[in-house]
Amino acid sequence: MTQDMECSAQSVIQSTAMDALNGKIACVQAGYYDDRFIQAFSSSMVPQHSILMKRGYTARVYAFEQAVRRFIATFPDSQIISLGAGFDTLAFRLAEANAPMRRYVEVDLPSTVNTKTALMARRRQFVGVVDPSVYEIVSVDLLDPDAPALLAATVDPALPTLFIAECLFAYLPIDATDALLSGLAERFTGTRALMTYDPVNPLDRYGEAMLANLRRFKNIHMPGVVGAPTIEALTARYTRLGFPSVGRTMLNVYDEVIPEAERRRLAHLEFLDEYEEWNLLLGHYCITLSGVDAEGDSAAIHGLLEGEWLVPEKAAPERRRVTPALFDAIRE
């Protein structure tokens, strides 16, 4: 990987951290979910976000929090390592709820880490929330070949560890992600798990348009998506790298992981009539759950969220399509 490629990947990751921050703030301001910490990381006006985007972000936040909570409940002395954490607030929300974590480590580039820690030091809502022996934010370049060893040195690699990565690997060169994950699988000898949020299906008409718009308007490239364009390819890749994997689209996650009562509440917040766009957008992003426990079994990790999951060797199930009738039923 050339130095230019490395700088480009780092620049994209930093810009998308701000995009995710603004999207989540827009959700909280509109009442999609509660987060008293997120606004502390932005002092500017948040751009307008569509209802589609806000519901998508909400599904993403809900799924990650539920899976992390279940991992902590299932495996005592759990460690969470958030790769490319950006301005995420899950560590603080879990700490405020007294989740029994052994460690929670956020990992990002120095500029993001410095900005986040400076803002936390100036905001009252962070005072006394996290135990400094539990929470740590560290600067590690995930493109560095030594990154797996550096991460293993921040925690006890023999304890149950869940790595989370929200829309990170799509922006990294394929060989860099492969080296990172295979290195982590080699060094973390106890229960190891990986939860990711990734774009998929870039080769159909909608996917091609989505990637073209990102290149044209934001100069964002996604080499990792081209390298694993489908859920089958993505889960096969993670499995090959030491994290046996299953996956599902965000459309399935919204329908099956978020409880019906919560979907009904969200439907009352803002009226959505862009059904086809909703199906297309959420059908082009997915969540994967990957890894093994200390005995080499994947069942508990693959079961961190409810529903049927797609494994690499099976054909994709027919996706449930959201229709006006379904949304009307949810709103009633």
Is 262 annotated as contributing to ligand binding?
no
Judge whether 77 and 159 are in contact, CB under 8 Å. yes
For the chain, how many structural domains are there in total?
1
**CA Rg, the chain, in Å?**
19
In this predicted structure, what is the pLDDT of residue 310? 67
Distances (CA, A) of 100 to 30, 37, 81, 96, 159: 30, 20, 15, 11, 14
Domain holding 11, by residue range, is: 3-331
**Which has the closest alpha carbon to 107: 146, 154, 62?**
154
Residue 142 annotated as binding? yes
Q: Does the pLDDT at position 6 exceed 60?
A: no
Pairing of strands 285-292, 245-249: antiparallel
**CA atoms within 13 A of residue 322's CA, in its CB half-sphere:** 25
Q: Answer yes or no: are the C-beta atoms of 63 and 305 closer than 8 Å.
A: yes
Phi, psi of 47 (to 5 degrees): -60, 155
* DSSP, res 35: -
Amino acid at 59: A
Q: What is the pLDDT of residue 210?
A: 84
Amino acid at 165: A
Say how many residues make up the chain. Answer: 332
- Residue 14: pLDDT over 70: no
Distance CA 121, CA 112 (A): 14
List the strands of the sheet with 103-108, edge to edge: 135-139, 103-108, 79-83, 161-166, 192-199, 285-292, 245-249
Cβ-Cβ contacts under 8 Å for 218 (sequence gap 6 or more): 15
* pLDDT at 332 > cutoff 60: no
pLDDT in tens, 104-134: 999 999 999 999 999 999 999 999 999 999 9
Q: What is residue 172's DSSP assignment?
A: S
Give the pLDDT score at 60.
95
- Could you give the count of Cα atoms lying within 13 Å of 5 in the half-sphere of its Cβ? 13
Q: Can you spell out the DSSP letters for 99-149?
A: ---SEEEEEE-HHHHHHHHHHHHH-GGGTTTS-TTTEEEEE--TTSTTHHH
Euclidean distance between the first and final Cα of the chain, in Å? 54
Q: What is the pLDDT of residues 59-102, one digit of tens each?
A: 999 999 999 999 999 999 999 999 999 999 999 999 999 999 99
Give me the pLDDT at residue 185, please.
Answer: 97
Least confident of 16-20, 149-153, 305-309: 305-309
Average pLDDT of the residues in 279-306: 93
Element (H, E) at 82: strand 79-83
Q: Given a cut of 80, is residue 103 above it in pLDDT?
A: yes
C-beta neighbour count of 232 within 10 angstroms: 18
Average pLDDT over all residues of the chain: 87
What is the distance between the alpha carbons of residues 37 and 28, in angstroms, rounded to a whole number?
10
Give me the CATH number covering residue 122. Answer: 3.40.50.150
Residue 36 one-letter amino acid: R
Q: Is 180 annotated to bind ligand?
A: no
Q: Is the pLDDT of residue 313 over 70?
A: no
What percent of the chain clears pLDDT 90, i.e. is strictly above it? 72
Q: What is the mean pLDDT of residues 148-176?
A: 95
